[in-house]
Every structure is written in structure tokens, then in C-alpha cells.
Amino acid sequence: MTSVLFLVLYVVVITILLLNLLIAMMGDTYADVKKSAKRLWHLERARIALDLENGISMSKRHLNSNKYWVDVQGERYLQVEQVHDDHFYPKNGEIDDDD
């Protein structure tokens, strides 16, 4: 009778230890995946952009590349739009009661 009790106790303890080991291993795997996830996301995004760019003909690609560039006295500059937030807010602490 004691041998059966020890066997049952052994099986229960080993099962708990193995489950604990499995949980620890899954936690380590999750940490590793989370650590490399952002880097892999950037890599896949770059691959998709490259595939899309390679799918466009050279003439169309050059046409679109000149869309955002401005020539000033023979120098090429990237054209950038800036949003000025002060255009969207009332000046001098005035309250807009148009509602």
C-alpha cells in the first residue's frame, strides 16, 4: 500500500515539476520572440516596400521619384510640408464660441 502511495505522490510531483519547466521554457521563448519582433517587423516592411518598388517600371519609378524633389540652383532638395499648429488654435487666449 505504501508503494502505491509513493508512486502516486511521485507521479503528481513529477507532473507539477514538468509543467513548471514547460511554463518557464515558454516564458523564455516569449521573451526572445518579443525582443526580436520589432526588428523582424521592420525587415519585413522593408522587403515589402522593395518588392513593390521592383514591381514598378523604371520610367514610372523615375517619374514618382521626382515628385517630392525640388531643384534649386542646380541642387536637389527634398520637399517637406510642415503643419503650423498655431493656425488651428485661437490667438491671444481667445475662446472660439462658434459652437
Whole-number Cα distances in Å, 39 to 42, 45, 50:
5, 10, 17
The residues pairing with 75 across neighbouring beta strands, listed in sequence order, are: 72
In terms of pTM, does the model score above 0.85? Answer: no
Domain ranges of the chain: 8-87
Task: Specify whether the CB–CB gap between 64 and 55 falls below 8 A.
Answer: no
pLDDT tens-place values along the chain, 99 residues long: 899 999 999 999 999 999 999 999 999 999 999 889 989 999 999 999 999 888 888 887 777 667 778 888 988 888 877 777 777 776 666 665 554
